[in-house]
């Protein structure tokens, strides 16, 4: 009997998020109200606030669901693939694969996430916990690589920025089944992996340190 309450609450939260995403898709994030979401979910006007403080919290719940699916796909790659380029590309493509069913709503959410001051921006302080977990996945792509200590510490963040660029391309890709994006990820990841391997050469150590310094000075998260 004790498990029924939490399970029912989880089911209600999932229902609210699903309905919220449909409303955001139909009429936009800004125009959709908490009252409308509650009504569409068959709840009392204030009931949505019992489960979520705001619409932004619903988006974060949606992001969390997507991350858990992404993590399961990425684990398969990271546990079986040793090639650096394929590990990087595989992690990114795992993210895209689980996001494919949500492409249209992803475009809607991108419009608000593009605002660096908005809480759901991937660069916001509110997004830090989820951002850090995604950066940790990029760090795992580098397992087995012998890198300079400073480069090893900052490279996962750079790889996450690289992935953000791939996701942005995916959002604008009109090719069938986003085939161009997946080819782009493979080719760009191979290039990135080559640059990482080259960074191990003593002659390029100064270049790597300068690149890290520039990144640290200008990064926005």
- 86-139 pLDDT, tens per residue? 999 999 999 999 999 999 999 999 999 999 899 999 999 999 999 999 999 999
At residue 162, the pLDDT reads 97
Q: Tokens representing 125? A: 């302080």
* Cβ-contact 147, 158 below 8 angstroms: no
CATH code reported for the domain at 1-52: 1.10.10.60
Provide the residue ranges of all domains of the chain, joining segments of one domain with +. Answer: 1-52, 63-218
* Cβ-contact 154, 147 below 8 angstroms: no
C-beta neighbour count of 50 within 10 angstroms: 14
Give the containing element (helix H, strand E) for 137: helix 128-141
The model's pLDDT over 156-211, given as tens digits with 9 standing for 90+, comes to: 999 999 999 999 999 999 999 999 999 999 999 999 999 999 988 888 878 888 88
Which of 90, 48, 85 shows the shortest CA–CA distance to 73? 90
The model's pLDDT over 50-73, given as tens digits with 9 standing for 90+, comes to: 999 999 999 999 999 999 999 999
* Its pTM surpasses 0.75: yes
The yes or no reply on domain 63-218 and CATH 1.10.357.10 is yes
């Amino acid at each position: 009997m004790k498990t029924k309450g939490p399970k029912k609450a989880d089911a209600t939260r999932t229902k609210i998020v699903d309905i919220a995403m449909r409303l955001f898709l139909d009429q936009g994030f800004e125009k959709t109200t908490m009252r409308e979401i509650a009504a569409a979910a068959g709840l009392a006007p204030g009931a949505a606030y019992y489960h979520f403080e705001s619409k932004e919290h619903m988006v974060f719940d949606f992001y969390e669901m997507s991350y858990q699916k992404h993590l399961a796909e990425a684990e398969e790659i990271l546990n079986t693939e040793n090639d650096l380029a394929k590990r990087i590309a595989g992690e990114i493509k795992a993210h895209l694969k689980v996001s494919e069913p949500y492409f249209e709503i992803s475009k809607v959410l991108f419009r608000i996430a593009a605002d660096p001051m908005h809480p759901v921006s991937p660069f916001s302080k509110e997004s830090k916990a989820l951002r850090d977990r995604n950066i940790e996945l990029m760090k795992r792509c580098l397992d087995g690589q012998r890198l300079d200590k400073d480069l090893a510490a900052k490279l996962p963040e750079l790889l996450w920025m690289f992935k953000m660029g791939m996701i942005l391309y995916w959002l604008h890709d009109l090719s069938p089944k986003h085939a161009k994006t997946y080819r782009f990820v493979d080719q760009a990841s191979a290039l990135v992996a080559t640059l990482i391997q080259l960074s191990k050469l003593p002659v390029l150590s100064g270049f790597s340190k300068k690149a890290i310094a520039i990144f640290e000075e200008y990064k926005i998260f």
